[in-house]
Structure 1
């Protein structure tokens, strides 16, 4: 291998084949060779080797390589490319981001026994305790799939040390399925939740299902002082039966089994003495007669599951949820949440999403609960994300009910039935319309026939501290223009750093765009699917004006003009880096612009004449490179010295509509 590295300049097919054979041998016999043998290789050879290693081998090598200044990014990126396929670009900037994505995707698949082509090909290397341990130390989110009982059950027995690791690392817990609290085997899932949410460091909860009683159990004692009556009755009915069960389980655990394979880590903090699992799957006489003898109380769960050397039930902590997401939020779940909200003082972030448009009464009930919470000095809620609202006015009601919110994200979709405003809800006083808002981030995604632009501009005028604005889908009445929005931004929002305008008409707003760019301090600008060139009579000249204005913004590092039908005019963008004051843009997204291979080649030639001062991340996805693959690949080759390219496969036969729209 050293000889091959020393003759890298010759690179004949035989050498390449020999190198591949050597890399495969290192992968297969990594344990026998030892980590030191790999680290003794020349750095260029190690870099070539990385994409051939397994996940666990990369994880083991990374700390030592980082000390030598060698990044394992190419290895993790290679795994992602193998997992996602050649037509998906790997869009991660650091090795830690790429590594986390690999571990996140693989942990759930391997732990629950799911398979995909990548897992099948690498099952020998992945279906091992060492992989689960390595992944558990990296991931931050744990998805609870209750229908797969055996994997969860293993966390209370032979894989209990893995649960200890998860308890220390997991920051976010997801509940993907309903949990039947009437069934005894539910205890396993509840215990895992208790360990992660109460004993562990997880403070974020993501609920993917519409299950009000489970939501009540998850919120119970974890932030709000509210006690759900139905849950209280259910827990009380179990309590009398659970005492004898806990005593029986404790006796069953009295003898620990030293013969279990514990897969204990080398680190003392990860070690735990295994024990026999209580016989939770046995059916008692009481269960057969219809009386369940199990508990829903977290502390009693600890008495049932915890080993004889574990913490006592008296030491059982109660966790706090500061970030809550409900992904299928219906009326029943909202009733539980609205009752808990007024005393949910530790809640910092709330996300509610429904597959269908929420009802007026549900949103107004939420607004009342938010108002009660905001009136307390102990309230911590700063982030609010709600969708889908039936009309824009409700956004204003929610905002007025939460005056301490610094980040608001709303999605609005017009419904074709029902009233457009509930007259019994108190309107905001005119004197309050000028009160300054602490908003720093605002996202409004709209699917309406006509959008209330006045609502958005009034909020912008009241938000002088706004740093991030994302507006999508805005449709205005005939004869109206988005220019009023841009003018408001220029006049009222001087702290703006990130502006994302999506799916709207900006072709008649060039003067306002240029004016905004003259005095702004933007760091990120997205104008995606904004039909920029649609009404420009001199498309190239107008685009040159825009480029000249962009070059005057020294803070700008991210620019996206995706889905704007730039086509042959894309060459003008190369002028961003020309002249004595080139743009500081480091990421340029020109995806989905119907850029032909010859046009990309011309862009590459111009960029070579005026190369960017920094290595440019260039997003070229969803452009018809297959129209002339040779020319397209030549253009990519000329761009690579200056750019990190994000490309993926394109099938022109699947995109005829886009082709016709550009004719």
Structure 2
């Protein structure tokens, strides 16, 4: 089909009524627009009626959408539907789309596809669209959108291309990339490691990347990555290695003919060099630039040193922990630190980390604000870490008992020490995920009372003594945290705390409230009555826009939630999460019928995932159709044959 045939088909489509033949003709036209996009040109697409343009968008390739987007935006036409169509094609029809703007959807597509195409990985989508994706134009289009880059030395050839035919991409990455992930183990005795370190050097030292994520256990590599990029600490073994490299690099430069143009290597034969068994690898950043950078590259003079502002270590072993304890006291530029230990930390390791953090905090130059640590041995460790760096504004910890069979520690808090002077904390966000047989709630409430600026609190899995209640926690939140805006209680028994929840709501300015798997209605004789009390309390909080009640066995009582939007005063809730509540199709239909009578003032995002819609698909679909005009539905497939999930949701 050429341009004339395409235009004739479009005219015929405009002039006829829509029957089955016309719909078939329309599909042919849309597929032809994709296939002959280059021959047609952008103008041919732009000359179509707006309705047809919107119809053709989901049929276009990634590069075609990217090429059309600027011109369509000038006509105030969004390509959002096209990008969302690609997301659904990648992840499947049941994938929940959590992007709301054109740029968010485009970034999601590029973030997903770029590493797959660049490193040659395969999934169903890249296999079906290999002709459109395995092109320089796609790599260039994606590189202009992404802000994160993965360095995988297990596949050196794609990285090697950045020093040869894909050299312009590396220049673009210097301007675009803000965060880098290093995966797989790196060995300084291997040639391919040089290439990975060189790309890192370009992105961090010559470029604008400031966030580093590491998936490996190698203290020497960690020392190289941190060297000169924020801390004054120098690892002795690394210093010797770098000094040898600098000396070798100087000798090599002196041996070159000053009158001749230096010949720099743009490629390495990794197979040949690895088989040669050479281990005299030069890892000095300046020498790496000389080895890999073409003449027009950035390293004509001395290489700059970048700074690491955000550091995340996903597999932090004992050696890396010891190195960090030496690095942290002078890591003044560090804003965020995330450490995931490969095993539960022991008390001496926690004390070493706390000591290093205290030295950093005591200096007036510290900028550390965000701290995430896992896995701590007990809840007391959290308090020690906070006392060592009271200026952090965000703390996230995961706590797990050191071993099975350890007797629970008696209730204890640093506040009970005679010489302990409680310091007010700067905390604004606190997340505590606990796996303990018994948690000392007094430590948690002590931290809350010392955090008057706390705006977000998330606690999961906190178990108390059988005779204890979470009411003390809720009372503390009501009395000590007036700035609280987001409260997320998860896997926490609240069945005997209904009065405290209602009191908290009456005296709060919450914007987000989530009770996930909290057994809210477990001890209620009349579930609907208690749910009505909760709905009435929620309606008294005008700032509340998100309400999460996932996995609370609401089931047939779901209709009560429609009352959020009825009466003289209505709720401001814009997002309602009722996942995993065993809501059956007939119950959802009744909910939809009631809420249709009094629809929300604002478009409501309704999360219905993991509810048994397949029990009666026709009724379920009828309920969804009734809800769609005034809600954004988050749904996914459910398999009632999965009896365990079914049982747990209906307990």
**TM-score, normalized by length of structure 2?**
0.93
- Report the RMSD for the aligned CA atoms in angstroms: 2.5
| Corresponding residue SS for 1:62 | helix
Which 10-residue stretch deviates more, 238-247 or 478-487? 238-247
Moved more, 441-450 or 650-659: 650-659
The answer to which of 486-495 and 34-43 deviates more is 34-43
Question: Is 1:519 aligned to 2:526, yes or no?
Answer: no
Which residue number in structure 2 is paired with residue 537 of structure 1?
A: 525
* The one of 467, 483, 487 aligned to 1:479: 467
State whether structure 2 residue 44 is matched by structure 1 residue 55. no
Aligned pairs for 1:381-420 within 5 A? 381-416=368-403
| TM-score normalised by the chain length of structure 1 | 0.92
Q: Is the 8 A contact 2:58 2:81 kept in 1?
A: yes
- 1:636 maps to what in 2? 624
Secondary structure at 1:328's aligned position in 2? strand
Q: State yes or no: 1:309 paired with 2:296.
A: yes
- 1: distance between equivalents of 2:596 and 2:58? 30
Distance in structure 2 (CA, Å) of the matches to 1:420 and 1:379: 36
1:419-438 map, 5 Å: 432=420, 434-438=422-426
Q: What runs of 5+ residues in structure 2 fail to find an aligned partner?
A: 1-8
- CA gap of 1:606–1:426, structure 2 versus 1, over 3 A, is closer
Deviations 1:268-290 (A, max 9, x none): xxxxxxx86155649689x9585
Tell which deviates more after alignment, 401-410 or 244-253.
Answer: 244-253
> 1:179-578, aligned counterparts within 5 Å?
179-245=186-252, 254=261, 277=266, 279=268, 281=270, 290=278, 292=280, 294-416=281-403, 432=420, 434-578=422-566
Moved more, 185-194 or 429-438: 429-438
Relative to structure 2, which stretch is displaced further, 63-72 or 601-610? Answer: 63-72
TM-aligned CA distance change 1:352 to 1:284, over 3 Å: closer
CA contact (8 A) 2:555 2:584 kept: yes
Q: Is the 8 A contact 1:329 1:353 kept in 2?
A: yes
> Which position in structure 2 is the counterpart of 1:92?
99
Match of 2:5 in 1: none
Per-residue CA deviation, residues 328-368 of structure 1 (Å, 9 max, x unaligned), is: 01111111111110100000100001232122222211111
How many angstroms does 1:656 deviate by?
3.7
Aligned counterpart in structure 2 of residue 613 of structure 1, from 598, 601, 609: 601
Higher mean alpha-carbon deviation, 63-72 vs 377-386, is at 63-72
Cα deviation for residue 295 of structure 1 reads 1.7
Count of matched residue pairs: 640
Is this contact kept in 1: 2:415–2:421, CA < 8 A?
no
In the alignment, which residue of structure 2 is the partner of 1:116? 123
Measured after TM superposition, the shift of residue 432 of structure 1 is 4.8
Separation (CA, whole Å) in 2 of partners of 1:295 and 1:60: 43
Q: Unaligned stretches of 5+ in structure 1? A: 257-274
| DSSP-derived class of the 1:303 partner | helix
Q: Cα 1:5–1:343, aligned 2, differ >3 Å: closer, same or farther?
A: farther
Tell me how far apart the structure 1 counterparts of residues 519 and 500 of structure 2 sit (CA, whole Å): 15
Matches within 5 A, 1:140-179: 140-179=147-186
Q: Tell me how far 1:480 sits from its aligned partner.
A: 0.9
Aligned to 1:101: 108
CA positional deviation for 1:382: 0.7
- Equivalent residues of 1:178, 1:214 under 8 A apart: no
Question: 1:214-245, CA deviations, whole angstroms, 9 ceiling, x for partnerless residues?
Answer: 00000000000110112112223333333355
1:653 to partner: Cα distance: 0.6
- Name the CA distance, whole Å, in 2 between partners of 1:251 and 1:31: 50
- Asked if the contact 2:408–2:438 (Cα under 8 Å) also holds between the matched residues in 1, the reply is no
Q: How big is the shift at 1:595?
A: 0.6
